[in-house]
Amino acid sequence: MSRIKTFNLPDLGEGLTEGEILAWLVKVGDTIELNQPIVEVETAKAAVEIPAKWAGQVHTIHHPEGTTVEVGAPIIAIDTDPGAGPVETPSTTATSGGDLPTPSAASLAAVEVAPAEGMVEPGLIGGPAPGGRTAVLVGYGPRTTAAKRRPRKGAVPAQAVAAPAPAAPPVVTPVVAPAQTGQATPTSGGTTGGVLAKPPVRKLAKDLGVDLGTLTGSGPLGSITREDVQRAASGATTVVAEPIAATTAPSFGADREQHIPVKGVRKLTAENMSRSAFTAPHVTEFLTVDVTRAMKALDRLRGRREWRDVRVSPLLLVAKAVLLAVQRHPMVNSTWAGDEIVVKEYVNLGIAAATERGLIVPNVKDAGRLSLRELADALTDLVQTAKSGRTSPAAMSGGTLTITNVGVFGVDTGTPILPPGESAILAFGAVREMPWVHKGKVKVRQVTTLGLSFDHRIIDGELGSKFLRDIGDFLTDPEAALLAWT
């Protein structure tokens, strides 16, 4: 029974086939405990910390930070019995020297996983689940397609690169300085071909017998002016101007370009948006509404004792409006499944969040069952987790309907693209003070614009319009809408 156990990169959910090692939380020689986080891995959905499956001492780290590793590949080896002394391997008994800088094939053979030990305990990541399946964090099991592997950083090309031959020393042509005299030298014995001067100045120099090659220009870019020629002809001391660096032509090459690798969340977002945009026929409708009463209702809510420690934002009322509108129009919360439409009785409400790693859409599970206070707490936790970069793959899977709050960027609205598998997404614009006709008079009111994109295979114009109108009605007068609909 081998005391060295190898831990392979587990399936982190949603059929993901690879992950990038962001940071090792341990190093070789460290003593670790069971379930202690040992490595942070970024997948196409999230950055997650992976815990140790065994207690012991870190024996080998197989991949450095920044490496993309396929699911199932070994990432670390752990000595589960470090108190038993040095690990004996075939490589150490066959050689008389010290430790080798890198493990040989023979030494790696000693770091093996026995069939009984290699199996992960039931319920852990990568271990057997009830029914003979493989347990994963999220999703439907490991993907069977081959994963694309990115070359490791600092990899050496297979072919040898010849060293460049030493450059030959430059040939220096001696330059003979003109004879120093008290008067100007005639032009017949000078050189003026490389001098920067306008034609009238050259003619003047020729007429006055001044050699332009002996002058230092005081004009733009070091050019010689009429005054320089006249001073030289009169024998006056020429004022030597500081040379002005010649302007170079602008460069439009790689030295002024930035190449950003497309990976992780950004890569997954690009794939999802492209697939959705060219699969689901999108239609977008807009509605501008007066939300003055809704903003006043939020102020009253913040003033209540039981709400003083709760984050209350306009997004909370928009989320509540969407959930109530779904109850009135259930078909909006559905998925196109080819030969059928799947209408879902639960709402996993997605909230698009811009993070340093890119756009992610975590969702509040079964949001329709939550009270307004519970919904406020769930939204606050969702946003804070996303900003800290700790959103799990489970929190980003299974969304049924999404809100994107573009108003936080000062934008009035947009034409959002549907997340794959969803039939509607609402863009919530900025709330602004604008002139508005209220009770027959033009007054300054708080106004916002909503944009609803939907899958026209499922939602026709009538259904989409009614759904958007109900959201607008709630935001216009939330108290009246609650009394009328509940």
Tens digits of pLDDT across the chain (486 residues): 588 899 998 877 655 678 888 889 999 989 999 989 999 888 766 778 889 989 999 999 999 988 888 888 999 999 988 888 777 655 444 443 444 345 544 444 444 443 444 444 444 444 444 444 443 333 333 444 444 444 444 444 444 434 444 444 444 434 333 434 334 434 444 445 567 777 777 878 888 888 888 888 888 777 888 888 888 888 754 444 455 555 667 777 777 788 878 777 677 777 777 777 777 888 999 999 999 999 999 999 999 998 988 999 999 999 999 999 999 999 999 999 988 999 999 999 999 988 877 788 999 999 999 999 999 999 999 988 988 888 888 888 899 999 999 999 999 999 999 998 999 999 999 999 999 999 999 999 999 999 999 999 999 999 999 999 999 999 999 999 999 998
* pLDDT at residue 137 in the model: 39
Catalytic residue among 282, 329, 438, 456: 456
pTM (two decimals): 0.56
| Known catalytic membership, residue 456 | yes
Exposed / middle / buried, residue 370 (Cβ in 10 Å: 0-12, 13-18, 19+): buried
Q: How many other C-beta atoms are found inside a 10 Å radius of the C-beta of residue 50?
A: 21
> Strand 37-42 vs strand 56-61: parallel, antiparallel, or unpaired?
unpaired
Question: Does residue 454 contact residue 396 with C-beta atoms inside 8 Å?
Answer: no
Q: What distance in Å separates the CA atoms of residue 87 and residue 110, rounded to the nearest whole number?
A: 9
Exposed / middle / buried, residue 46 (Cβ in 10 Å: 0-12, 13-18, 19+): buried
Looking at the DSSP assignment, which residues form a beta bridge with residue 350? 363, 402
